[in-house]
Amino acid sequence: MTEQTTGDQLPPTHVSRLTFHGPLGEERAAGFVTRLAATDPKSVLDIGCGWGELSLRLLAAAPGATGVGIDLLARDLERGRTLAADRGLADRMEFLEESAAGTRRGPADVVLCVGSGQALSDAPAPDQFGEALKELRRLVNPGGRVLYGEGFWERRPHPDELARMWPGAKPDDHLPLDGMVEAAVRAGFRVEWLEVASQEEWDQFEAGYLADIEVWLAANPDHPEAAEMRADADRHRASYLTGYRGVLGLVYLTLVPVA
Within-domain flag for 90: yes
Instruction: Estimate the share of the chain in helix, then strand, then coil, as percent rounded to the nearest 5.
Output: 40, 20, 35
Q: Are 148 and 113 in contact (CB under 8 A)?
A: yes
Give me the pLDDT at residue 159, please. Answer: 96
In the sheet with 43-47, reading across from the earlier edge strand, the strands are 93-97, 66-71, 43-47, 108-114, 140-153, 248-257, 189-196
Residues 6+ apart with CB under 8 A from 14: 75, 79, 212
Cβ–Cβ < 8 Å for 152, 249: yes
Examine residue 185 and state whether it is found in any structural domain, yes or no.
yes
Res 172: pLDDT: 95
- How much is the pLDDT for 89? 98
Question: Residues 109, 42: contact at Cβ < 8 Å?
Answer: yes
What is the average per-residue pLDDT within 231-252?
A: 98
3-state secondary structure of 110: strand
Residues 239 and 161: their CA atoms lie apart, in Å, by: 9
**Averaged over 2-21, what is the pLDDT?**
71
Regarding whether 146 and 169 lie in a shared domain, the answer is yes
**Are 122 and 56 in the same domain?**
yes
Considering the domain boundaries, does residue 233 fall inside one?
yes
Same domain, 145 and 170: yes
Separation between Cα atoms, residue 18 and residue 235, nearest integer Å: 20
Above 50 in pLDDT, residue 3? no
- 105 and 157 housed in the same domain: yes
Tell me the mean pLDDT in the region 233-237.
97
List the one residue out of 20, 39, 250, 70 whose CA is nearest residue 145: 39
96 vs 3, 93, 130, CA distance in Å?
42, 10, 25
Domain that holds residue 31: 26-200+247-257
Is 19 inside a domain boundary? no
Q: Are 145 and 54 in contact (CB under 8 A)?
A: no
CATH of the domain at 57: 3.40.50.150
Same domain for 229 and 111: no
| Structural domains in the chain (count) | 2
pLDDT digits (tens, 9 = 90+) for 83-108: 999 999 999 999 999 999 999 999 99
Report the pLDDT averaged over residues 177-201.
98
Same-domain check for residues 130 and 50: yes
